[in-house]
């Protein structure tokens, strides 16, 4: 049976993950439309670094799932999380230095904090829930990467004149030559993750799982 307290914890866990994703998606959409309004266009090259960061965070999702499994020892959770934070934080710092953007560190901190709060609040079944999230993230990342490479993407506000001003020394990769592809992918990707937190991994889904488990035990 799902108590009001349990359902509240589930919603808090969902919101802790969903809000950073949806906010980031909105920011990227605005960058796509009005790139010069965000840090004088520095978010345009920053988008490629953001996708590299997300690849790292997807890798960390498996370790976060293990962290969530330690449901009876919050102190141990904190120690493991701090170790993961240091390890992935150093990698993120290197990416942030290469893109010249401190915002990458802030985004990393907000996403990791949201995932940690979720792992603490979910408690029972936390590992299974995070494995589902990690699997969904990997599938979406791969599909949207392919889509961003092979499908046409409108440039919106990222015109050739803007690129000449804010990203003159870009490399030869497709995301660097046409950064609107990376921005579009990241915008859609984080939006889908946020919506999945609300409508796929929310309390309604967990409640149905709990009811099925109770029914099976009764049999």
In the numeric block, which tokens belong to residue 151?
């499908």
Give per-residue burial for 43-53: e unless 16+ CB within 10 Å, then b.
Answer: bbbbbbbbbbb
pLDDT reported for residue 145: 95
As a whole number of angstroms, the distance between CA 193 and CA 207 comes to 20
Per-residue pLDDT of the chain (219 residues; tens, 9 = 90+): 455 546 777 777 788 778 888 998 999 999 999 999 987 888 888 877 788 778 877 776 666 666 655 555 667 767 777 777 787 778 777 777 776 667 767 777 777 777 666 666 655 555 677 778 888 999 999 999 999 999 999 999 999 999 999 888 888 889 989 999 999 999 999 999 999 989 988 765 444 444 444 444 444
Indicate the DSSP class of residue 200. Answer: T
The 10 Å Cβ neighbour count of residue 110 is: 16
* Spatial contact of 14 and 121, defined as CB atoms under 8 Å apart: no
pTM over 0.75: yes
As a whole number of angstroms, the distance between CA 12 and CA 167 comes to 40
In the numeric block, which tokens belong to residue 36?
């010069």
For the CA atoms of 154, 159, 163, 166, what is the dihedral angle to 10 degrees? -110
Q: Please, how many CA atoms are within 13 Å of residue 186, restricted to the half-sphere of its CB?
A: 29
* Spatial contact of 205 and 11, defined as CB atoms under 8 Å apart: no
pLDDT reported for residue 202: 72
What does the domain layout of the chain look like in residue ranges?
7-211
As a whole number of angstroms, the distance between CA 92 and CA 1 comes to 41
């Amino acid at each position: 049976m799902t108590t009001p307290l349990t359902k509240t914890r589930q919603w808090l866990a969902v919101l802790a993950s969903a809000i950073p994703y949806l906010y980031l998606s909105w920011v990227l959409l605005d960058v796509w439309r009005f790139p010069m309004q965000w840090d004088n266009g520095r978010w345009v090259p920053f988008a490629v670094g953001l996708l590299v960061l997300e690849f790292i965070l997807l890798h960390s999702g498996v370790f976060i799932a293990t962290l969530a499994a330690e449901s009876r020892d919050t102190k141990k959770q904190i120690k493991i999380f701090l170790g993961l934070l240091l390890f992935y934080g150093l990698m993120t710092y290197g990416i942030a230095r290469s893109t010249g953007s401190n915002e990458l560190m802030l985004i990393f901190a907000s996403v990791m904090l949201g995932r940690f709060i979720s792992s603490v609040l979910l408690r029972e079944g936390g590992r299974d829930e995070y494995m589902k999230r990690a699997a969904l993230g990997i599938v979406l990342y791969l599909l949207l990467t392919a889509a961003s490479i092979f499908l046409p993407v409108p440039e919106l506000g990222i015109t050739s004149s803007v690129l000449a001003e804010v990203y003159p020394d870009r490399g030869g990769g497709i995301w660097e030559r046409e950064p609107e592809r990376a921005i579009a992918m990241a915008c859609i990707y984080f939006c889908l993750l946020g919506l999945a937190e609300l409508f796929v991994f929310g309390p309604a889904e967990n409640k149905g799982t709990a009811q099925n488990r109770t029914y099976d035990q009764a049999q």
